[in-house]
Amino acid sequence: MGPAAPALREGIFDGGVMVKERVRAIVAAAVAKAVPEGAGIEFQVEPPKQAEHGDFAVNAALVLQKIAKSNPRKLAQAIVENLHDPERLFEKVEIAGPGFLNIRLARDVWHRELEAVWRERDRFGHSKAGAGRRTMVEFVSANPTGPMHVGHGRGAVLGDVIANLLEWAGYEVGREFYINDAGGQVWRLAHAVLARATELVDVPRVPLDPEDYQGEYVREVAQAWLDSGGDPKRPFEKIREELRAFATSWILEYLIKKDLQLFGIRFDKFFSEKTLHDEHRLEAAVKLLDEKGLTAWEVLPPPKGMERDPDEEFVEKPLKVVKTTRFGDDRDRPLYKTNGEPTYFAADVAYHFDKLSRGYTRLINVWGADHGGYVQRMKAVVQAMGGELEIILFQLVNLMKDGQPFRMSKRAANFVTLRELLETAGSDATRVFFLLRRGDMALDFDVGLAQKRDNSNPVFYVQYGHARCSAILRKALEEKGVEPRWDPEAMQALQLPEEIELIKRILMLPELIANAAQSLEPHRVVFYLQETIAAFHGYYTKYKKTERVISDDPRKTSARLYLVWALRQALANALAVLGVSAPDRMEPPEGDEVA
RNA sequence: GCGCCUGUAGCUCAGUUGGAUAGAGCGCCAGCCUUCUAAGCUGGAUGCCGCAGGUUCGAAUCCUGCCAGGCGCGCCA
């Protein structure tokens, strides 16, 4: 290795990105010589859309024209004349269009780079882009008052994959689930459990309030509570804490954690809101805000524009607030209610303060769009406490069945649970379905479609690509006793344009994952998989009769076997990021050509 | 009334963070299996990138204003 140019981000990425940075360094040196006043300027080195344009398109001359008021094509010519390429990376450099530099690399450069997969195996795709920064992803955080529904599922998958992406991109990631086990809703649950319990045994009935949770699962909780020795004859006020504790932990354990397990999602910590209250952590957070001069006593104006219940009179009384308006919120937010109890927001402030004090400097929350009104105040308060908060607001899932919208409500007795979905469609298909669209797009989830096991479900296409690679490797071993191995000499045998294209696609994985992590956009990995596998299927079919992977030419066989092996590894790693299984064989679809 | 999200092919959606002639899947039509899995591949067309301005070498992408759809608004959680 010669002296590294400053632009060369050595060690952050392996594989194709290193090639790209080496290209960038060579062009940067030429720019410095050709146009001294433009030295150090930022420019792009990107694979162009059209293959004829080479391996990389460089826009340096176009960017330079601002500084060196000159024709970009002339500037491009000057850069080309100053290119110094002692390693002979470049095969061809052309000036094209308005002044792009189209660079084609020598093929053996790509051949050599593919060793990265051999070295890194199931770690190929990792990078150090995040530099070990401590990052917290909070997601799901479903209330422990009932089963999770399909919308929670979307948040669960998004959060899980975002956390995976960040880990692969070199961040140190914590995953947390915030349990809303305090406040009014849990008392509604406790009361519902008692009401249902009195229906199950011969005791005086406690009627179910209309505001109580109505779902069938409450009967199960009630039965479990009775089995554990709960006494439904005692008055509610005496046992409501016992009921609350029992019901929330039962639901967390047997409904929520079970679903997460079926989905293959793990958390580092389930953080209880109640412990914040019990341990007086709210006061500590509020005190911090006091010290920063960000609290005040204010009489808040009534909410504007909304239709309000005329019976509810607005209480004009001073409340302790956080001055979130100083950070762009449209009104200050109360920390305590008129009755002196802390607001839900106050607890959340304390929780985020806790995250920061544990050394997490980048906070990411994955929320449903129904929390949209909460974003500004939370960002404001985290900023006030010296942190940085990013919020992924995913649009809600419209559950459909046979073209008819399915209405979901947690209070209502009838809704489709995440459990039902997982049991009918399976974790892999459900994950891919949720990841197929950007999080900020509303998603119509057709329950019927998710259960289909055919082409309309893209998970099979993606998995089939992996299985096909496995089948080739299996056959090579069984019939020829050949296993894939890194053989730099044999790699020269890969000369077909489709083979070079596949190598490039494999090698872009680390950068793709780093970019997806940076932008918090998991769907990019799904599209990468689809496009890469399509390229492989095309290659496979085109040369099926002429240039097969396994042939009588040992050199070609060795090189192609390695290519297929490396591709399979890249696919498997990308699937691992998504939490989707990578099968080595696919069962034929049911009912297809059986006769 | 205010805030957030969205508007791209018949439908569902991408679009490499401002690059060259805007793409994919589904659906439709026509082809491709003696040989590594046809859950695959190849070909065929449809675009006022919601509308109107602005920024610049260059805009689906950025800024402004409209239009349309979705979600939200509280001392609830």
Q: What would the pLDDT profile of A416-462 be if each residue is shown by its tens digit?
A: 788 988 888 889 989 998 998 888 888 888 777 777 766 667 888 99
Q: Report the residue count for chain A.
A: 595
Please give the nucleotide, over all strands, whose C1' is closest to the CA of residue A318: B75
DSSP assignments along A34-67, one per residue: H-GGGTT----EE--SSGGG-SEEE-HHHHHTTT
pLDDT of residue A317: 81
Structure tokens belonging to residue A298? 């204010």
**A526: Cβ contacts below 8 Å, ≥ 6 apart:** A432, A435, A436, A458, A462, A578
Amino acid, single-letter form, for residue A64: L
Of the candidates A361, A377, A350, the one whose C-alpha atom is nearest the C-alpha of residue A285 is A350
The CA–C1' separation of A173 and B69, in angstroms, is 37
pLDDT of residue A310: 47
In this complex, the residue with its CA at the shortest distance from the C1' of nucleotide B40 is A537
Handedness of CA A410, A413, A416, A422 (dihedral sign): positive
Tens-digit pLDDT profile for residues A220-271: 999 999 999 999 999 999 999 999 999 999 999 999 999 999 999 999 999 9
- The residue among A105, A130, A158 that closes a domain is A105
Q: How far is CA A467 from CA A204, A411, A550, in A?
A: 62, 44, 16
Please check whether strand B approaches the CB of A407 to within 7 Å: no
CA A107 – CA A85 distance, rounded (Å): 15
pLDDT of residue A458: 83
Domain presence at residue A560: yes
Q: Residue A470 class from Cβ within 10 Å (0-12 exposed, 13-18 middle, 19+ buried)?
A: buried
The CA–C1' separation of A75 and B60, in angstroms, is 29
Please give the nucleotide, over all strands, whose C1' is closest to the CA of residue A303: B74
Q: How far is CA A447 from CA A91, A157, A260, A438, in A?
A: 53, 17, 19, 19
Please check whether strand B approaches the CB of A456 to within 7 Å: yes
The CA–C1' separation of A499 and B54, in angstroms, is 46
The CA–C1' separation of A130 and B51, in angstroms, is 42
CA A462 – CA A530 distance, rounded (Å): 6
Question: Interhelix angle for A523-542 vs A427-435, to 10°?
Answer: 110
- The residue among A87, A105, A123 that closes a domain is A105
Longest pairwise C-alpha distance within chain A: 95
Domain presence at residue A114: no
Please check whether strand B approaches the CB of A338 to within 7 Å: yes
Structure tokens belonging to residue A80? 């080309």
CA A316 – CA A321 distance, rounded (Å): 14
Structure tokens belonging to residue A34? 């050709």
Residues 199-238 of A with CB under 7 A from strand B: none
Question: Interhelix angle for A554-578 vs A458-475, to 10°?
Answer: 150
Boundaries of domain holding A567: 458-578
Domain presence at residue A144: no
Please check whether strand B approaches the CB of A475 to within 7 Å: yes
CA A136 – CA A480 distance, rounded (Å): 49
Q: Where are the alpha helices (DSSP H) in A407-545?
A: 418-425, 427-435, 447-451, 458-475, 497-507, 509-519, 523-542
Please check whether strand B approaches the CB of A406 to within 7 Å: no
Please give the nucleotide, over all strands, whose C1' is closest to the CA of residue A334: B75
Amino acid, single-letter form, for residue A330: D
For A399-432, b where at least 16 C-beta lie within 10 A, e where not — what string? beeeeeebebebeeeebbbbbebbeebbbbbbbb
By three-state DSSP, how is residue A399 classified? strand
Please check whether strand B approaches the CB of A460 to within 7 Å: yes
- Tell me the pTM: 0.93
Domain presence at residue A561: yes
CB distance A127 to A12 below 8 Å? yes
In this complex, the residue with its CA at the shortest distance from the C1' of nucleotide B74 is A303
Where chain A has pLDDT below 70, the residues are 1-17, 302-315, 401-415, 453-456, 588-595
Domain presence at residue A468: yes
Please check whether strand B approaches the CB of A293 to within 7 Å: no
The torsion defined by the Cα of A49, A51, A54 and A60, in degrees rounded to 10, comes to: -10
The CA–C1' separation of A305 and B1, in angstroms, is 5
Please give the nucleotide, over all strands, whose C1' is closest to the CA of residue A463: B39
In this complex, the residue with its CA at the shortest distance from the C1' of nucleotide B34 is A545
Please give the nucleotide, over all strands, whose C1' is closest to the CA of residue A476: B36
Residues 353-392 of A with CB under 7 A from strand B: 369-376
**A236: Cβ contacts below 8 Å, ≥ 6 apart:** A190, A191, A194, A206, A243
Please check whether strand B approaches the CB of A80 to within 7 Å: no
Q: List residues bridging with A92 in a β-sheet.
A: A104
Please give the nucleotide, over all strands, whose C1' is closest to the CA of residue A300: B75
Structure tokens belonging to residue A411? 């209070």
Q: Residue A233 class from Cβ within 10 Å (0-12 exposed, 13-18 middle, 19+ buried)?
A: exposed
Quote the strand ranges of A67-107, DSSP E. Answer: 90-96, 100-105
Please check whether strand B approaches the CB of A183 to within 7 Å: yes
CB distance A124 to A570 below 8 Å? yes
**A87: Cβ contacts below 8 Å, ≥ 6 apart:** A22
CA A116 – CA A504 distance, rounded (Å): 12
The count of structural domains within chain A is: 2
Please check whether strand B approaches the CB of A471 to within 7 Å: yes
The CATH code of the domain that includes A478 is 1.10.730.10
CA A241 – CA A225 distance, rounded (Å): 13
Domain presence at residue A48: yes
Of the candidates A581, A221, A284, the one whose C-alpha atom is nearest the C-alpha of residue A430 is A581
CA A559 – CA A486 distance, rounded (Å): 8
The CATH code of the domain that includes A40 is 3.30.1360.70
The CA–C1' separation of A127 and B68, in angstroms, is 43
- The residue among A56, A77, A105 that closes a domain is A105
Please check whether strand B approaches the CB of A304 to within 7 Å: yes
Please give the nucleotide, over all strands, whose C1' is closest to the CA of residue A454: B39
Please check whether strand B approaches the CB of A393 to within 7 Å: yes
Tell which strand B nucleotides have any atom below 7 Å from a protein Cβ. 1-6, 12-17, 19-21, 23-27, 32, 35-42, 56-57, 69-77
Domain presence at residue A429: no
Q: How far is CA A557 from CA A39, A110, A271, A310, A560, in A?
A: 47, 18, 54, 80, 5
The CA–C1' separation of A502 and B40, in angstroms, is 17
Of the candidates A373, A404, A397, A380, the one whose C-alpha atom is nearest the C-alpha of residue A328 is A380
By three-state DSSP, how is residue A367 classified? strand
The CA–C1' separation of A8 and B41, in angstroms, is 40
Could you write out the three-class secondary structure of A519-562? HCCCHHHHHHHHHHHHHHHHHHHHCCCCCCCCCCCHHHHHHHHH
pLDDT of residue A83: 94
Structure tokens belonging to residue A421? 């979905």
The CA–C1' separation of A259 and B60, in angstroms, is 40
pLDDT of residue A304: 58
Please give the nucleotide, over all strands, whose C1' is closest to the CA of residue A460: B39
Domain presence at residue A404: no
The CA–C1' separation of A312 and B75, in angstroms, is 12
